[in-house]
Amino acid sequence: MKDNYYDILEVNKNASQEIIDKAYKILVKKYHPDLQEESLKNKFEEKIKKINEAYDILSNFEKRKDYDLFLKENEISIENYNKLYNENIVLKKQLNDLNDELYNLKNNVYNKKNNFSNNYNSEISNNDYLKYSIKNNLNNKNYSINYFFNYFVNILKILFKNFFAIFLTLLFIIIICFILWHIPFTKSYLINLYNENILIKNIINFFI
């Protein structure tokens, strides 16, 4: 998205036309290319273009009205921003927890490997160590069960949420279609549309 025109003119969104006019005049005098050093003229020419563009929109009542509507439709609400911010914090915490678990798991495996070597006072092969690690990991049932149980529950939550949303959408569409079909005007229109439009007729006949 381009720079906000209000920010370019350094005014508030609720600024009056008088304030916008005054701000524009001040900025033009301040950033006019002819008043700058030769090496900076190109830079300030671009800045003046943006200032003129912003003033052209905000000084016209209809253009400003449309621009305000555009900003309102494209800006994120405080509620959604806070929701995204909190979700980001939760995800970061989960990532840190996973990193900590991975680090502890690596240390645990490393310590077990050393203990295995010390107990047998000999060098072990990779296959032997793998068998030993698998056996000990299987004994740690609480960690494995809790991890996979939480993982499975999260998947079920996501699937249920998506299924519920799809179900509500389909139910809403069916209700709308039912209502439209029982209104004489729309029913007549739909029947005519079906009879006159070959493509729609073929599509409906295919599903029927």
Average pLDDT over residues 77-104: 72
What length does the chain have? 208
Alpha-carbon separation of residue 97 from 103, 138, 175, 182, 189 (angstroms): 10, 22, 46, 57, 60
Of residues 99 and 64, more confidence is placed in 64
Is the pTM higher than 0.85? The answer reads no
- Provide the 3-class DSSP secondary structure of residue 40: helix
* Chain centroid, CA 9 distance in Å: 30
198-207 and 184-196 helices, crossing angle to 10°: 100
For the chain, which residues make up each domain, given as ranges? Answer: 5-74, 77-139, 141-208
Average pLDDT over residues 161-190: 82
Average pLDDT over residues 55-59: 96
Q: Where does residue 22 rank: exposed (0-12), middle (13-18), buried (19+ CB within 10 A)?
A: middle
Q: Please give, one letter per residue, the 3-state secondary structure of 2-16.
A: CCCHHHHCCCCCCCC
Of residues 21 and 130, more confidence is placed in 21
pLDDT of residue 193: 78
Superfamily of domain 5-74: DnaJ domain (1.10.287.110)
Tokens of 59: 């000084």
Percent of the chain with pLDDT over 90: 25
